[in-house]
Homo-oligomer: A and B are copies of this chain.
Amino acid sequence: MEVSWQPGMKMDVNAPMCPSRGVLEHVTSRWGVLILIALRERSYRFSELRRHVGGVSEKMLAQTLQTLERDGFVLRDAQPVIPPRVDYSLTELGEEAAAQVEALGRWTERRTEQVLKNRERYDEARP
């Protein structure tokens, strides 16, 4: 196991200090997943996105969009008009990530009913 990451070192999510861990945590973050999935369908404005992704606070939406933008997954297009208009869309890199994340999200929706049954069985097997 590597103690620190050096340039040119092979990326390995199992290494505690590997930067790939951070990247993975960004794309699999609570709101990151939902935002990526939403933006795959089309570009969204801030408040539109907030209404689409149920339950996000403004703060978390802004914050998550920023980290996704910094990583190069999301493109932020702010028009200098009044009222402010900012459009968010996926970059090519973001589209690649979002495709995988959406697959996982859709799979989860399909299998959740089964998981719920599994939990019941598990719980009644031990009081």
Q: Which residues of A contact B (CB under 8 A)?
A: 1, 11-16, 18-20, 23-25, 27-30, 33-34, 37-38, 52-55, 69-72, 93, 96-97, 100-101, 103-105, 107-119, 122-123
Contacts of A27 in B (CB 8 A): 104, 108
Contact of A13 with B71 in the complex, beta carbons under 8 Å: no
Q: Tell me the number of copies of this protein.
A: 2
- Could you tell me the distance between the alpha carbons of A108 and B29 in the complex, rounded to whole angstroms? 14
Q: Contact at A54–B16, with CB atoms within 8 Å?
A: yes
Q: Is the CB of A118 within 8 A of B70?
A: yes
Most buried by B among A100, A108, A117: A108
Q: Is the CB–CB distance between B118 and A23 below 8 Å?
A: no
Find out whether the CB atom of A100 lies under 8 angstroms from the CB atom of B109: no
CB distance from A13 to the nearest CB of B (A): 5
In angstroms, Cα B71 to Cα A112, docked, is: 9
Q: A20-B109, A111-B96 are in contact. Are A119 and B34 (CB under 8 A)?
A: no
